[in-house]
């Protein structure tokens, strides 16, 4: 610790904070990429061992048992080792920014790697991306805390960790940047963009060195964009929007039901594991992240994507194939909720990509069947991923750039934009928040998507409290009060008892008509003249709640007390507005 103290002192004397932030963003990028590579290696190791020694490419009952084992191991790890909720990684980041002054717990730097690795490696129907984004954000937050950086910089380091995690796990630097700007709502200024770019690009470069430069979903069959297919892409955009709505509301409803009706964590393992195992046994494409299915669909290999199922066998006709894939679309959210609700750890990145590819493929196949067209179903599968991601995450730019970078499908930029934007606009009519944000918005805990409230989080009560008001006592006479009024430069006087507890307020306007009548000086006391305050503010009250109190009461000045109602000072709207402006200038400083 002494070495860190010495380094902090040396850094403050020799390195400008802006330069240090750029250096720290590079370190965050490297660590996020290493974490992403470690998680991928852990998942692949477990999958290799299972598929080699148990499943061995055949449809066996291990498809049912392995996901249950993974959920049980992850749940036990969380319950006995971590002893904290590590699910819903992106929501946790938004909560940390909104309610915890950008502080993320230290264990999040490693716990999600183990939990999600066990869950996904054994076949859990979720993704590794949200856990690794939480890991990257935790690395950024804790490094900023270690070097005693302010809250504004901690928020930026969380963004750098998230951008680095996306860049590292997907090898998609642009997607890492736009994800942070769209989903975490980081401000687009040069102060923020430069570190975010450094983290994202650095993480991608490190991932290239470790894993190679091949894209995650390479397109073998490349079909060029044709203008006369735009109407079909517009239809796909609307379908993706409604599919996103189903995904969002269905996932939210099922999660609430699981949490409300199943209390015992052991029972959750049993119900979640059995449900997931049964679904995967009947619908093998639901096994794991589903990336193999995506690769096959975007290359037109729908038969291999089915795998071997007791319901549908290879060589099924188009109608059976479409119905089977629609069933997979409807049941994907059930499989994902069963995984996480049962105690597993994973995110919705991969499920939204998987579901988008299947939706796009089905729409393409249905159009070809009923209209006799020859549109490329593989292109629709690829573009459908952008549509689902855009709708579920409320992040059209992320959907566009991520899919382009994941597939190398830059030649499909036009349909990617059409589908992503239409899907996003469609779901906005029904859901104002993404699945990540709606959990906090429903509790009134989301402020990252409101810039006014984001700035207010940087304000503290100590920044706005005023302590220069003269206190008076209830038994003080009007004559004694007049003497204090002559010394005061304020028109409001807090009334406190002998123990300093707040009793009320006295406004100069209330005594102005009698203060020049000496005959009344001993007749009136402060107790008769004082009034109650419309509300009291607590010393540890967040500034956004302070503003809510001002809005509800219509007051311009309010007293601040501690938990024992001892008077501490006053807060005025004018002081808040002045401090808000100063913070806003600093917060948006280029």
Query: In this model, does residue 242 exceed pLDDT 50?
Result: yes
Between helices 129-146 and 349-371, what is the axis angle to 10°?
150
Total Cβ atoms within 10 A of residue 80? 8
Q: Are 124 and 101 in contact (CB under 8 A)?
A: no
Contact in structure between 108 and 30 (CB atoms under 8 Å): no
* Joined tokens for residue 476: 């003080």
Using one digit for the tens of pLDDT, what is the confidence trace for 164-201? 999 999 989 999 999 988 887 655 566 678 899 999 99
Residue 284 has a pLDDT of 85
φ, ψ of residue 507 to 5 degrees: the values are -100, 140
Q: With bands split at pLDDT 50, 70 and 90, how would you rate the model's confidence at 590?
A: very low
Tell me which of 577 and 494 has the higher pLDDT.
494
At residue 380, the pLDDT reads: 93
Q: What are the tens digits of pLDDT across the range 206-220?
A: 999 998 888 778 876
Between 522 and 241, the more confident residue is: 241
Q: What is the secondary structure of 43-104 as a DSSP string?
A: HHHHHHHHIIIIITTS--THHHHHHHHHHHHHHHIIIIII-S----HHHHHHHHHHHSTT--
Q: What are phi and psi of 502, to 5 degrees?
A: -75, 135
Q: What are phi and psi of 572, to 5 degrees?
A: -115, 150
Residue 490's pLDDT band (cuts 50, 70, 90): confident
pLDDT at 479 over 90: no
In the DSSP assignment, the letter for residue 466 is B
Q: 155: which DSSP letter?
A: H
Per-residue pLDDT at 582 exceeds 90 = no
- Alpha-carbon gap, residue 132 to 168, rounded angstroms: 9
Q: What average pLDDT does this structure show over 228-249? A: 95
pLDDT in tens, 293-323: 888 888 876 666 565 666 666 555 778 888 8
- pLDDT tens for each residue of 24-34: 999 999 999 99
CB-neighbour burial class of residue 522 (10 A; exposed 0-12, middle 13-18, buried 19+): exposed
Question: Does residue 160 register a pLDDT over 90?
Answer: yes
CATH of span 2-211: 1.10.3080.10
pLDDT given for residue 57 in this prediction: 52
Question: How confident is the model at residue 523, as a pLDDT?
Answer: 79
Pairing of the two strands 537-538 and 557-561: parallel
- Considering the four listed CATH numbers 1.10.760.10, 3.40.630.30, 1.10.3080.10, 1.20.1250.20, the one that applies to the domain covering 227-453 is 1.10.3080.10
> Is the pLDDT reported for residue 586 higher than 60?
no
Structure tokens at 578: 């002045």
Lowest mean pLDDT among 88-92, 236-240, 437-441: 437-441
User: What was the pLDDT predicted at 440?
Assistant: 64
* Residue ranges covered by each domain of the chain: 2-211, 227-453, 454-587
* Residue 145, pLDDT above cutoff 60: yes
Whole-number Å distance between alpha carbons of 124 and 274: 12
Burial class for 319, CB neighbours closer than 10 Å (0-12, 13-18, 19+): exposed
Per-residue pLDDT band at 392 (split at 50, 70, 90): very high
Domains 2-211 and 227-453 share a fold: yes
Hey, is 123 helix, strand or coil? Answer: coil
Question: Is 233's pLDDT higher than 50?
Answer: yes
Residues 453, 244, 233, 217, CA torsion sign: positive
Question: Which CATH number does the domain 454-587 belong to among 3.30.70.360, 3.10.580.10, 3.30.1490.100, 3.20.80.10?
Answer: 3.10.580.10
pTM: 0.78
């Amino acid at each position: 610790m002494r070495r860190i103290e010495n380094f902090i002192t040396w850094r403050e004397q020799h390195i400008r904070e802006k330069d240090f932030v750029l250096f720290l963003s590079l370190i965050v990028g490297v660590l996020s990429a290493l974490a992403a590579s470690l998680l991928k290696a852990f998942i692949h190791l477990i999958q290799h061992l299972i598929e080699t020694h148990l499943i061995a490419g055949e449809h066996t009952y291990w498809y049912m048992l392995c996901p249950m084992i993974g959920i049980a191991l992850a749940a036990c790890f969380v319950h006995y080792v971590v002893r904290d909720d590590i699910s819903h990684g992106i929501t946790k980041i938004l909560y940390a920014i909104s309610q915890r002054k950008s502080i993320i717990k230290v264990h999040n730097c490693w716990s999600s790697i183990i939990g999600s690795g066990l869950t996904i490696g054994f076949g859990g129907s979720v993704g590794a991306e949200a856990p690794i984004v939480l890991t990257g954000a935790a690395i950024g937050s804790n490094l900023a805390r270690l070097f005693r950086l302010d809250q504004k910089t901690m928020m930026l380091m969380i963004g750098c960790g998230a951008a680095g995690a996306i860049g590292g796990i997907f090898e998609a630097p642009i997607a890492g940047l736009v994800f942070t700007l769209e989903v975490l709502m980081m401000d687009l200024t040069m102060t923020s963009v430069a570190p975010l770019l450094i983290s994202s690009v650095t993480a991608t470069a490190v991932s290239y060195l470790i894993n190679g430069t091949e894209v995650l979903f390479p397109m073998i069959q490349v079909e060029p964009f044709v203008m006369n297919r735009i109407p079909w892409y517009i239809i796909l955009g609307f379908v993706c929007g409604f599919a996103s709505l189903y995904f969002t509301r269905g996932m939210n409803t099922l999660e609430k039901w699981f949490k409300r009706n199943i209390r015992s964590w052991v029972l959750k393992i049993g119900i979640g594991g059995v449900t997931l195992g049964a679904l995967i046994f009947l619908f093998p494409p639901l096994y794991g992240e589903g990336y193999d299915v995506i690769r096959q669909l975007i290359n037109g290999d729908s038969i291999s994507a089915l795998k071997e199922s007791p319901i549908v066998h290879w060589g099924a006709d188009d109608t059976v194939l479409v119905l089977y894939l629609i069933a997979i679309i409807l049941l994907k959210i059930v499989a994902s909720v069963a995984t996480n609700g049962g105690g597993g750890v994973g995110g919705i990145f991969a499920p939204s990509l998987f579901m988008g590819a299947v939706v796009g493929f089905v729409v393409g196949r249905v159009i070809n069947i009923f209209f006799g067209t020859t549109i490329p179903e593989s292109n629709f599968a690829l573009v459908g991923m952008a549509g689902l991601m855009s709708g579920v995450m409320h992040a059209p730019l992320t959907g566009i750039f991520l899919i382009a970078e994941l597939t190398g499908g830059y030649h499909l930029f036009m349909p990617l934009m059409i589908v992503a934007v239409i899907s996003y606009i469609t779901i906005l009519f029904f859901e104002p928040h993404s699945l990540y944000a709606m959990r906090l918005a429903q509790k009134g805990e989301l402020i990252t998507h409101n810039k006014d409230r984001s700035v207010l989080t940087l304000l503290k009560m100590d920044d706005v409290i005023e302590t220069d008001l003269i206190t008076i006592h209830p038994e003080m006479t009007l004559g004694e009060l007049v003497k204090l009024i002559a010394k005061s430069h304020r028109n409001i006087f807090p009334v406190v008892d002998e123990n300093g507890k707040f009793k009320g307020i006295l406004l100069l306007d209330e005594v102005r008509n009698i203060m020049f009548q000496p005959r009344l000086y001993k007749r009136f006391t402060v107790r008769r003249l004082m009034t109650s305050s419309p509300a009291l503010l607590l010393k540890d009250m967040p500034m956004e709640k302070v503003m809510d109190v001002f809005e509800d009461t219509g007051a311009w000045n309010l007293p601040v007390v501690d938990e024992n109602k001892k008077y501490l000072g006053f807060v005025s709207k004018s002081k808040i507005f002045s401090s808000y402006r100063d913070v806003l200038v600093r917060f948006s400083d280029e």
